[in-house]
Amino acid sequence: MSAIAVQRPAARRIGWRIVVTPLLLAAVVGALALYLSGRDLDSIEQRNLSLDVIARALWVHVQLTAISTAIVIAIAVPLGILLTRPAARRIAPAIVGVANVGQAVPSIGVLALFAMVVGLGRGGVIFALVLYSLLSVLRNTMAGLEGIDRSVVEAARGMGMSKLRTLRKIELPLAVPVMLAGIRTALILNVGTVTLATFTLGAPPDGSGGLGELINSGLRLGRLDTVVLAGAVLTAVLALLVDWIAGLVETLLRPHGL
């Protein structure tokens, strides 16, 4: 049926402004590279800023962010759907309250806590990240579903759509924009928080602690205007890039007609 619909090409909905952010970020990275190559790096700096180390740090950082966000989506979206069903109305505030605690505690505290309880290593880091960013996705999933005009749901049910079909065809598509906004927030939170992972992952200076490792070891070694700077700038660029991609996905997945 939707073939009948007038489809606006996705490209036109996004426009030329789409290229501004990546160009700007590329310029920043280029400037950083230029600056560092112009400096006379000592052996410590050279070891910490080798292409090998930076690439691994970036890769670990992206991995940790992606895995933790995927787990958050897998938990928070179904949970949000369940908690907005009439049967769960009573217990919903309690569960949202628990998720609230996860975000209220400072992230380094959560990480440290889980480093003690679950132990050092990736598992602990991911566990803490999930706990920390769960709330934004959960809350937005619930808000997105609860924000749907009740008359739309009533019309659907009144025409004989089953509860499941109403959820699938009506409620979820209409909640998508708000849910995606929550996922975007979780992503950004996680990109930032992963910089703290280096404290629990331990840090052989090879990049396996993520971009936070650059900042951490740069601080310990007193290489502020080279190693720390590179770590900080790359983290910021990564965060903005992830935000840009998420924004793109939001635009593309937003249902027509809204």
Partner 1 sequence: MSDPAIRLHQLEKRYRGQREPAVRDLSLEIPRGEIVVLVGPSGCGKSTTLRLINRLIEPTSGRIELDGEDVTRADPDALRRRIGYVIQQVGLFPHMTVADNVATVPLMLGWDRARIAARVDELLELVGLDPAQYRGRYPKELSGGQSQRVGVARAMAADPPVLLMDEPFGAIDPITRERLQDELLRIQADVRKTIVMVTHDIDEAVKMGDRIALLREGAQIAQYDTPERILTAPADRFVADFIGSGALVRGLTLARVGDAELTPWPTVDAGGSAEEARASLRDSGRDAVLVLDEQRPLRWIAAGELGNGSRLQELGRPVGGVLTADVSLHDALNELIGSATGAAPVVDERGAYRGVVELRSLSAAVAAMRDGEGDRSPSQ
Q: Which is nearer to partner 1, 46 or 162 (CB)?
A: 162
Q: Of 243 and 250, which CB lies nearer to partner 1 in the complex structure? A: 250
Instruction: Report if residue 154 touches partner 1, rule: CB under 8 A.
Output: yes
**Of 54-62, 108-116, 147-155, 199-207, which segment contacts partner 1 by CB under 8 A?**
147-155
32 sits in which H/E element: helix 20-38
Out of 112, 173, 232, 247, the residue judged to bind partner 1 by CB under 8 A? 173
Q: Is 46 a residue that touches partner 1 (CB under 8 A)?
A: no
Dihedral angle sign, alpha carbons of residues 53, 57, 63, 66? negative
Rounded Cα–Cα distance for residues 207 and 235 (Å): 13
Query: Are 190 and 129 a contacting pair, CB within 8 Å?
Result: yes
Q: Is 178 in the site for partner 1 (CB under 8 A)?
A: no
CB of 5 to partner 1, least distance (A): 4
Q: Is 157 in the site for partner 1 (CB under 8 A)?
A: yes
Q: Burial code of 128-152, b = ≥16 C-beta within 10 A, e = fewer?
A: bbbbbbbbbbbbbbbbbbeebeeee
Instruction: Give the one residue of 12, 23, 51, 151 binding partner 1; rule: CB under 8 A.
Output: 151
Cα pseudo-dihedral 97, 99, 104, 110, rounded to 10: 140
Our CB check for partner 1 shows the closer of 38 and 158 to be: 158
- Chain residues binding partner 1 by CB under 8 A are 1-2, 4-6, 149, 151-162, 165, 169-170, 173-174, 255-258
